[in-house]
Structure 1
């Protein structure tokens, strides 16, 4: 990519897309095209066709998606598969029609089989059954990977796919019903502290193991791969280390300085027992994560205390 190139970041208001925009701007890329969902509905083929025909971007980061935690994935199953399929089908196809030089499709670690060996290697894709609670979302993302590969094979398109692990950072979703585990815990502990609530309830048993990557690290990896990776298939983006939900909750409890009790609600689903990414391919390409988990959560919490929670989210 050259600094004068026109770059479309789809999903720029979300945690992932906004981090990619910041990373591009940090390196002097200012010809960045963005659209809010009100201005451009990526589910609408006609709108997407018109946008690409008018704007003619050189590069595309496809970070737009309908996302959520376990409950949201399991509740809105039809929406998760339909909306994600429509978004990626429209963007990938019209990138091809309008001769986009390169496109990056961002997926999720939930694409891997529920009981796949750990850590998760890229070639474990489609080797077993998916986690039932997020199967529709995972199938949509798998279709996106295969679509990129198919357009590469048939049309010679330089489309690449990356699969980030669980992310956290600025512009995360803090809705207690639809958010992922880390932001949900941050909000729960913060609100329990300021309201003197004696206990915080954590969904599940606390035993599942999860890996967490700061959104700024993720964006840096995407920026790096957009310039150094040009192959079919996918690349995992992660830190290569995981932590139990219980230990994560204890870490956040310590960061927030909450002094109440921790209670685990085993009636809520745990999801996949473990989901650790094998990042050997990423390291081999020359990139490694920099932000340690506790350091990253500390910074996120400082930002939240001075912004979002002043607005009483």
Structure 2
């Protein structure tokens, strides 16, 4: 059996689909299973068992001998949430329990970290583990992810294989439920569909023109391919960046969305809200050499390819992956 936590969510539900496509059908999905996510993201998938998040460790105590691998992708991901207790409970302490269980039962583990750990990027975006204790995230979500990365590296007891993945700006199908935390592409599509125009944040940094803020946008289909690779590889434990390796502008994202929809570009700018202006990242780009160095050689979707696939094969018809 393969366990996927956060399985009703965006990335994890795509991973379940990819596992099914590779003929892994004994999937145990762990989540709190809100109706909207379960009915959409998990509908039609081959799943062996549904386990509630709060009962997972009791279930694992009874079934660990049958568990081959754990993907721990469940987390609170709201970057606008500032209640540290929420992140300590769901992102830090729950993850510690997953780690300790994997140590006790010798189960290999891949878990979700985040590029939010890099903060403003003053120390760069290299996934060298020596720099992790020096990072200064810009919000409690990033803190929670970095706190767990630091904790994991400090442990003497480790799963025989483990990997933490610093997800950059992931986009793609199965994020219908995410509301304001969905990708910019998702929101751009819906704005253009409704109004025929798109609004982007104005730059408040003299080094960047309006629309020229840059992110490393990575398509969710690439994310799940890396997860599959690590499950099969099971060597070279550590913390890895997971982005496309190529920063692109929000303007490029917008223009590609208009093109995929067959709509003439019409873009306006509004001030970035003051509530996030001081913590706004103007540039992120994953250094992907570490993952490449252990043998991952698959090409990543370009922004053009990913946006076109996402818009035309999923968003237009409201389809799931």
TM-score with structure 1 length normalisation?
0.81
Identify the residue that residue 281 of structure 1 maps to in structure 2: 290
Conserved? CA contact 1:113–1:127, under 8 Å: no
1: CA distance between counterparts of 2:87 and 2:271? 25
Cα distance, 1:156–1:166 mapped onto 2, change above 3 Å: closer
Identify the residue that residue 136 of structure 1 maps to in structure 2: 140
1:16 to 8, 11, 20: 11
The reply on whether 1:213 has 2:222 as its aligned counterpart is no
Secondary structure of 2:300's aligned partner: coil
2: CA distance between counterparts of 1:149 and 1:245? 34
Identify the residue that residue 66 of structure 1 maps to in structure 2: 76
Deviations 1:3-52 (A, max 9, x none): xxx1101122222112222222222222211134146453x4xx232121
2: CA distance between counterparts of 1:32 and 1:156? 20
Deviations 1:147-194 (A, max 9, x none): 43344x23564322121221111101465533232322222222223x
The reply on whether 1:184 has 2:187 as its aligned counterpart is yes
Instruction: Give the stretch that moved more between structures: 142-151 or 22-31.
Output: 142-151
Identify the residue that residue 95 of structure 2 maps to in structure 1: 88
Secondary structure of 1:60's aligned partner: strand
Gaps of 5+ in 2: 34-49, 204-210
Identify the residue that residue 111 of structure 2 maps to in structure 1: 105
Conserved? CA contact 1:120–1:276, under 8 Å: no
The reply on whether 1:163 has 2:166 as its aligned counterpart is yes
Secondary structure of 1:230's aligned partner: coil
Conserved? CA contact 1:11–1:62, under 8 Å: yes
Conserved? CA contact 1:81–1:139, under 8 Å: no
Conserved? CA contact 2:255–2:265, under 8 Å: no
Instruction: Give the stretch that moved more between structures: 282-291 or 6-15.
Output: 282-291
1: CA distance between counterparts of 2:271 and 2:126? 26
Cα distance, 1:156–1:61 mapped onto 2, change above 3 Å: closer
Instruction: Give the stretch that moved more between structures: 261-270 or 26-35.
Output: 261-270
Q: 1:262 offset after TM fit, Å?
A: 1.2
Conserved? CA contact 2:82–2:140, under 8 Å: no
